[in-house]
Chains A and B, each alone.
Chain A
Amino acid sequence: MFQDILVTGLVNGGVYALLAIGFSLIFGVARIVNIAHTAFYMLAAYCFYTLLVRLHLPGALAAAIAVVAVTALSVLCYRLVIEPVREHESAVLISTIALALIFQELMLYAFGGNFLGIPSAVDGVLVVFGVSIPYQRLLILVVAAAMLAGTWFLLYRTRLGLAIRATANDLEVANLMGMNVQRVAMATVAVSVALAAIAGVVVAPVFVVDPFMWLTPLVTMLAIVVLGGLGSLKGSLIGALIIGYVEAITVFVLPQGAFLKGAVALSIMVAVLLVRPEGLFGVVFEEER
């Protein structure tokens, strides 16, 4: 059972990590409460499904178009919905909830509530310690690692990354220092949604595509980013692994309580926050001290 938990927790944690990276950037680092983040992930999955399954485009081309189209849409949404209310966090929260619900209803109208499937990019399984791991899940682990490295590089080795961190730390001072804070915020939304779209394209083949597929990941992502600590990519990765392992342990130790795996994971998050309010690796910002 130990090896099952070890492998299953790692693989599922990798899936969560891939989903969490973009959310960590937008919510954890840039502090934009974009609730529609996972709705963009859902849109990318639908877009990929339509291009690949219905229009029979090659996989790589379908994936590229899906990511670019959804990223472009996010920029438009930012200009129309987020930017006008950017200074009011609660207004951003409400606006992006509305945006997510609009996307959900549009997909429900266009595709119905039926569950749709996307073929895996790579078929077959690898057996590790007697545990079968589909290659698609290994691909997710690889993409998650690449995205994590890429995001770290962007944040800590580029001028844009410096600008993102600066505006997140103190919007007014960044503005006074001559930064175009609106453009930085728009770039942050675009990069994070591109990450969500990549996650949608890579992760959707192991799940099912439906108009409500954005809800569960949203709760899990919030838990991971808060558990790991706002502002910390490392924290998000570890948070994702913790949630993956807690869920695996729940299923293996308490089979009849498998439906509780989400609740157990969220309880762990609450317990951690009681001890460390800033999360495991959280950055305590000036205004929060």
Chain B
Amino acid sequence: MVRYILTAVVLALAAPLASAQGTVKIAVVGPMAYVQGENHWMGAELARDDINKAGGISVGGKKMKVELIHADSNELQSVSDATNAMERVITRDKADFVVGGFRSEAVLAMQEVAMDYKKLFLGCGAADAKLGENVEKNYDRYKYWFRVTPTKSADLGRTLFAVLGSIAGQLRKGLHKETPKVAILAEKVVWTRGIVKALQANLPKMKMEVVGTWQPSPTATDVTAELSAIDRAGADIVFTAVSGPVGIVLGRQMGERKMKAIAFGINVEAQKDGFWQATAGKGNYISTLDTYGMVEVTPKMIPFVKEFEARFHQSPTYNAATYDAIMDLKDAIEQAGTLDSDKLVPVLEGFKNHVGTSGTLTWDKRHDPVWGVGTTSGIAVQWQDGQKVPFWPPQVKGMGSFKFPGAS
């Protein structure tokens, strides 16, 4: 009897080891009940299938298939749920690597857990600069963190300034507004702090007048008071930095009020296909930074978007760059010939102009993507009559044009 029990215990202990030896286990951690998590998962599924169809990842001459672990972090509701999910995939599911994450507050907490276990964690959602600053300040602990998308908040700011400059140029030229008036509407959360400060400091230098800064709650579902105040201030541009439901009500209420001002900035909800329906068709002219479109930012982008749309019947958001994260891991593993995170870190650090579906990536000393227009900056899109039209950077093949309310 004792022998049977011992055999069962040995088999139970050996089972995960055997599984781990046969496959590369990659945990996809994200808010799976939401579009962000769904995109994390869908991007990862495409990567897994592409890799496995080609025979798997070559690890020191041996081909290993990719196995994904689906982990709902519920991070939009609870940071502790997110850290529990991270703990679970590492300790129970024996993940070799982790990709995903969305909400900065939750990703900061999950980063701590992943670093405790020295697990490579490739972020595909959070913008807060502190994630990268941690790497610079305490390299030995945080070197296992790499950010894939988006760029850090300060670099998002640089992209925003570049696009804003382009829009202001059109305003000056077409509507003869020499000093366009800008209202800043940013939800009060950690990732918007740097952006708001940078805007307040730099817009006057760009010959734009800041008429006010409004900071609603990230869970706000009504901005009528804010929009009334913005209307009264005579803003030409409403600069948005919103990731929650406020992005939808903003689009809808601006449309209902037939505001002359145009909205541009980061509006995570406006990146989704469901935005037009959610605003009941009122979100015309709302524009936002985005990552994917039917444009040639890299040679891999259009084929990826087509494959994604054909399989999932929707277009990808930036969180689907889990595809790139897994491909980065594959390339690093094949180069290093091992799954050892400590040996993979220097290989990933050595990537130069690594071409992915979302951009062309080089990591800096904080393991943040080195910013560049047309490489990691992403694109800007505008909703025009139910279609999301990419319009920036103009030099990229396939871009449309930016439109103003009232213009044909």
Binding site for B on A (CB under 8 A): 1, 4, 7-8, 11-12, 15, 53, 108, 112-120, 123, 125, 130-132, 134, 136-137, 205-208, 210, 212-213, 216, 247-248, 251-252, 255-259, 261-262
B221 part of interface (Cβ distance < 8 Å): yes
0/1 interface trace, chain B 325-361, chain A, CB 8 Å (1 if under): 0000000000000000000000000000000000000
Q: Which of B54-62, B223-231, B285-293 contacts A (4 or more CB under 8 A)?
A: B223-231
Complexed CA–CA distance, A191 and B249 (Å): 30
| In the complex, chain A residues whose CB is within 8 Å of the CB of B269 | 115
Q: Which residues of B contact A8 (CB under 8 A)?
A: 224-225, 228
The one of B220, B229, B258, B279 that contacts A255, using a Cβ cutoff of 8 Å: B229
A132 / chain B contacts, CB cutoff of 8 Å: 228, 231, 256-259
A118 to B214 alpha-carbon distance, docked (Å): 26
Knowing A4-B229, A210-B245, A256-B213, the reply to whether A114 touches B34 (Cβ < 8 A) is: yes
Contact (Cβ within 8 A) B222 A117: no
Given B34, B225, B279, which contacts A12 in the complex, CB threshold below 8 Å? B225
Q: Is B252 an interface residue (CB 8 A)?
A: yes
Q: Which chain B residues border A131 with CB–CB below 8 Å?
A: 228, 231
Interface residue ranges of B211-263 to A (CB < 8 Å): 212-222, 224-226, 228-229, 231-232, 245, 248-249, 252-253, 256-259
Q: Are B34 and A112 in contact (CB under 8 A)?
A: yes
Q: CB-CB < 8 A to B249: which residues of A?
A: 207-208
Could you tell me the distance in whole angstroms from the C-beta of B193 to the nearest C-beta in chain A?
12
**A251/B280 contact (C-beta < 8 A), A115-B248, A115-B269, A262-B217 known:** no
The 4 closest A-B pairs by CB, nearest first: A251-B225, A259-B188, A117-B278, A113-B34
Q: Is the CB of A117 within 8 A of B279?
A: yes
* Complex contact A256–B248 (CB within 8 A): no
Interface membership of chain B positions 152-189, coded 1 if the CB is closer than 8 angstroms to chain A and 0 otherwise: 00000000000000000000000000000000000110
Q: Answer whether A205 and B280 are a contact pair too, CB < 8 Å, given A12-B224, A216-B221.
A: yes
Cα distance, A12 to B226, chains bound together (Å): 12
Please tell me if B76 contacts chain A, counting CB pairs below 8 Å: yes
State which size class the interface on B falls in: 35 or more
A48 to chain B, nearest CB (A): 13
- Asked if B8 CB lies within 8 Å of chain A CBs, one says no
Q: Which residues of B contact A247 (CB under 8 A)?
A: 225
Q: Are B221 and A207 in contact (CB under 8 A)?
A: yes
Residue B206 at the A interface, CB < 8 A?
no
* Additional A-B contact list (13), CB under 8 Å, known A116-B278, A258-B214: A4-B228, A53-B277, A112-B33, A113-B33, A114-B34, A115-B248, A115-B269, A125-B257, A131-B231, A208-B248, A251-B214, A252-B229, A259-B215
CA distance A258 to B255 in the complex (A): 21
- Nearest neighbor of A262 in chain B, beta-carbon distance: B217
User: B224 to A207, Cβ gap below 8 A?
Assistant: no
**Any chain A CB within 8 A of the CB of B405?**
no
19 CB < 8 A contacts A-B? A1-B229, A8-B224, A12-B225, A112-B34, A115-B248, A115-B269, A116-B277, A117-B252, A117-B279, A123-B256, A205-B280, A208-B278, A212-B219, A216-B219, A251-B229, A252-B228, A255-B214, A255-B229, A258-B226
CB distance A125 to B258 under 8 Å? yes
The answer, yes or no, to whether B281 is at the interface (CB within 8 Å) is yes
Chain B contacts for A7, CB-based, 8 A: 228
A120 touches B221 (CB 8 A): no
Chain B residues with CB below 8 A from A251, complex form: 214, 225-226, 229
What are the residues of chain B within 8 A of A113 when measuring CB–CB?
Answer: 31, 33-34, 76
Task: Return the chain B residue nearest A206 by Cβ.
Answer: B222
Q: Which residues of A contact B219 (CB under 8 A)?
A: 212, 216
Within 8 A of A (CB), among B269-325: 269, 272, 274, 277-281
Docked pose: A100 CA to B76 CA in angstroms:
19
**Cβ of B272: which chain A residues have Cβ within 8 Å of it?**
114
What residues of B have a CB within 8 angstroms of the CB of A11 in the complex? 224
Q: Which residues of chain B are near A137, meaning CB under 8 Å?
A: 224
Is B115 in the interface zone, CB < 8 Å from A?
no
* Shortest distance between the CB of B87 and any CB in chain A (Å): 23
Question: Known: A120-B256, A134-B256, A206-B222. Is A114-B274 also a contact (CB below 8 A)?
Answer: yes
Q: Are B188 and A119 in contact (CB under 8 A)?
A: no
Q: In the assembly, what is the distance between CA of A77 and CA of B187, in Å?
A: 38
A248 to B277 Cα, complex, angstroms: 28
